[in-house]
Structure 1
Amino acid sequence: MTQRLPSSLTPLDTALAALLRGVDPVAPAEVPLADAIGCIAAGTPLLAAYPSRDIAAADGWALSANDLVGASAYSPLPLTEVPSWVEAGDAMPAGCDCVLDADAVEVSGPLAQVLAEAVPGQGVRRAGSDIVERTPAGAEGHPVGAADLMLARIAGLETIGVRRPRLHIVNVPDGTATAQLIAGIARAAGLDVKTHEAGARDEASIADALDVFSCDILLTVGGSGVGHRDAAIAALAQRGEVMAHGLALQPGRTAAVGRLGRVPVVVLPGSPASALAVWLALVLPLVDRLSARRPRLKVSRPLARKIASSVGITEIALLAQEHRAWTPLAVGEWPLQAIARADAWLLVPAGDEGFAAATPVDAHLMRE
């Protein structure tokens, strides 16, 4: 039996509220550093000061700056003994607070003379200069980045605390390229991603693939339309609950949201553009709730030209940054090349007709 979209599409805000209802952040977990990139930091330890004591920043002679006042090539300063030689990374000898280059000290047997002055700290990395005592290994509620992992490794950590929602993707045959796109984006966002292929595009095969795996979010990709071979909605209704099918969202009109037990489900269209739009508008807010993530960064720029939009439906515009302005690439309908070029995206609310040229708009970055 052919299914039909409802004559009245569900507003995006209504669908999102239904999807988020009852959803709480997942518990923090310790994960290996290699698996933490992109995950949201949670309960991370406080690091000890590094270096733990003053160390040489370069190879040279370790001395006290106060003992070198007035030394120059024209007025060498004789020393009572040959100073200590240090290599970069060595602990500074007691009483020494600077490191002079090799040619700044002349040594002849047991005699030595200094040919240059220095200031305290010259050639030295002070204790705690790289990592201040009690620095968090990652900023709570923010993605763990490469710099965070560098500090954690230097501090000797092997694991770090994060919130990492488990995402399961069920691919309906013929939607493989789209499923791979979404899986790649999800992994980059720090999710624990597993994928599964439905046996066929019929309702029974898709329903079998929807057996609840251990996950926090379930996505299906493909089969969300109203064609004879689009059975994902019926399969979800058979296994769980369809809360909304047919969204006032463009791209992404045929998407659906529901529940499978307590697990929120989003049915993504098979089209890459529509699936990506639904990911941005519906799945990302769900991921952020589960991760206890701080609000995502928005960047304000004036529009290089106007954006026209239809009243009554939320449209998503793709933007490129050019000359410190946002240039619209596509609104509502997205060519694949526009997706590849986009630097940011902008929700145009259903009640708006768009934005005039030169209007400042706050856009979400495609890649933070």
Structure 2
Amino acid sequence: MIQRLNIALTPLDAALAALVDGLAPVAPVELPLTGALGCVAADMPPLKARPPCDIAAADGWALRARDLVGASSYSPLPLATPPVWVEAGDAIPEACDCVVDSDSVDATGRMFQVLAEAIPGQGLRRIGGDIAEGSVIASGQRIRPLDLLIARAAGLEKLSVRRPCLRVVTIPAATGHTATAQLISENARATGATVVLVEAEGRDAASIARAAETGACDMLVTVGGSGVGRTDAAIAALAQRGEVIAHGIALQPGRTSAVARTGKIPVIALPGAPDQALAVWWTLVLPVLDRLSSLRPRQPMTLPLARKIASSVGIAEIVLLEKIEQAWMPLSIGDMPLETIACADAWIVVPGGSEGFAAGTPVDAYMLRD
């Protein structure tokens, strides 16, 4: 049972724990290979061996290596029967275990003569050489183009994946800009999620509540209107739809964000400013999507700090980093100008109970670039 967090600023880890409490991964679906790219693989049946038999790796003559012992250009070895010519991809004839190139066999006279020795397996691709019998596309990992190559080579037409549906509700700003909602939607699609982007008719609670109808989505995100100003009504709208667990997260930037539930569906209200929304995306939205996708834990890159990080106790702060000569150089702490975001290679969050890290301290950072 989730309990409401009645404090001015809810600790970041408590807000995340409330969101994922009892949250189960979405059910797997089967998608065509082109639609599975970027999604998280679910359990797949074992693959069959590829190639299914020994095949030629290059054009040449199929022979048996032990029959060629002693063959050389100075002492050609005559063959009792003509060898079989194979081309790359052809199955190797029975009793043959190597392929020699055309220059290694003299076929100008009445009799074929071999001009070089060979070893078993030369010029071959062995059975299971590309895909071993019983291997699998690992579940819990994001499908990459190389995984699609394996699937096609194995003769698969579909893959079983987990693909959460994220409903993004953008609350119209006075400027009319929707760049932040578009940014969040693009980031979500990059994780393999299905995104339904809708815009509320107005900034009032009733309009936002109508747009926040969850329907068949697995997660709801609102963008904008999360503050306490006179025209900020996102939190009141979420209260009409379900339970607001916490409004005000101890995160900088991103203090005015909120977490809620509509039935079993997790809900996160993001501020309209792109830097604040990104901070909440990294620390709250993305971990929830990972849980829904059953994604294996993301692997950070650990490097020492080139310069110390000083942080305020009591609030988690986002730090943007640049990778310089195998060290992390802090670019900004608790503040994320757009130009700095564009230059950053990675980010970390300094926990609310920490005053920061000394120079030279190894820290785990999450990459923003491949």
Shorter-chain TM range is over 0.9
Partner of 1:218: 220
Partner of 2:73: 73
Mapped to 1, the partners of 2:355 and 2:37 lie a distance apart of: 39
1:85 maps onto 2:101 in alignment: no
Partner of 1:348: 350
Partner of 1:193: 195
Q: Which moved more, 1:347-356 or 1:145-154?
A: 145-154
The one-letter code sitting in structure 2 at the alignment partner of 1:233 is: I
Q: How does 1:1-368 map to 2 (within 5 A)?
A: 8-136=8-136, 138-174=137-173, 176-367=178-369
Instruction: For residue 338 of structure 1, report the CA deviation from its aligned partner.
Output: 2.1
Equivalent pair of 1:297/1:365 in contact (CA under 8 Å): no
Gaps of 5+ in 1: 1-5
Mapped to 1, the partners of 2:228 and 2:361 lie a distance apart of: 38
Instruction: For residue 22 of structure 1, report the CA deviation from its aligned partner.
Output: 2.3
Per-residue CA deviation, residues 55-75 of structure 1 (Å, 9 max, x unaligned), is 000011111111111212222
Per-residue CA deviation, residues 271-312 of structure 1 (Å, 9 max, x unaligned), is 111111101111122112222222110221100111111111
Equivalent pair of 2:320/2:330 in contact (CA under 8 Å): yes
Give the TM-score normalised by structure 2. 0.94
The one-letter code sitting in structure 1 at the alignment partner of 2:320 is: L
Mapped to 2, the partners of 1:329 and 1:77 lie a distance apart of: 71
Mapped to 1, the partners of 2:189 and 2:68 lie a distance apart of: 57
Mapped to 2, the partners of 1:72 and 1:330 lie a distance apart of: 69
Give the TM-score normalised by structure 1. 0.94
Q: Secondary structure at the match of 1:75?
A: coil
Partner of 2:3: none
The one-letter code sitting in structure 2 at the alignment partner of 1:271 is: A
Q: Secondary structure at the match of 2:246?
A: strand
Identity of matched residues, %: 62
Q: Secondary structure at the match of 1:208?
A: helix
Instruction: For residue 170 of structure 1, report the CA deviation from its aligned partner.
Output: 0.8
Equivalent pair of 1:41/1:161 in contact (CA under 8 Å): yes
Equivalent pair of 2:167/2:214 in contact (CA under 8 Å): no
Mapped to 1, the partners of 2:214 and 2:364 lie a distance apart of: 38
Mapped to 2, the partners of 1:329 and 1:306 lie a distance apart of: 11
Q: Which moved more, 1:70-79 or 1:268-277?
A: 70-79
Mapped to 2, the partners of 1:7 and 1:261 lie a distance apart of: 23
Return structure 1 stretches of 4+ with deviation > 3 angstroms: none
Equivalent pair of 1:169/1:221 in contact (CA under 8 Å): yes
Instruction: For residue 239 of structure 1, report the CA deviation from its aligned partner.
Output: 2.2
Equivalent pair of 1:310/1:352 in contact (CA under 8 Å): yes
Mapped to 2, the partners of 1:341 and 1:88 lie a distance apart of: 47
Equivalent pair of 2:43/2:138 in contact (CA under 8 Å): no
The one-letter code sitting in structure 2 at the alignment partner of 1:50 is: R
Equivalent pair of 2:82/2:112 in contact (CA under 8 Å): yes
Q: Which moved more, 1:355-364 or 1:16-25?
A: 16-25
Mapped to 1, the partners of 2:94 and 2:110 lie a distance apart of: 21
Instruction: For residue 109 of structure 1, report the CA deviation from its aligned partner.
Output: 4.8
Mapped to 1, the partners of 2:226 and 2:252 lie a distance apart of: 14
Instruction: For residue 367 of structure 1, report the CA deviation from its aligned partner.
Output: 4.6
Q: Secondary structure at the match of 1:194?
A: strand
Per-residue CA deviation, residues 23-64 of structure 1 (Å, 9 max, x unaligned), is 112122222211222222211121000000000000111111
Q: How many residue pairs end up in the alignment?
A: 362
Instruction: For residue 82 of structure 1, report the CA deviation from its aligned partner.
Output: 2.5
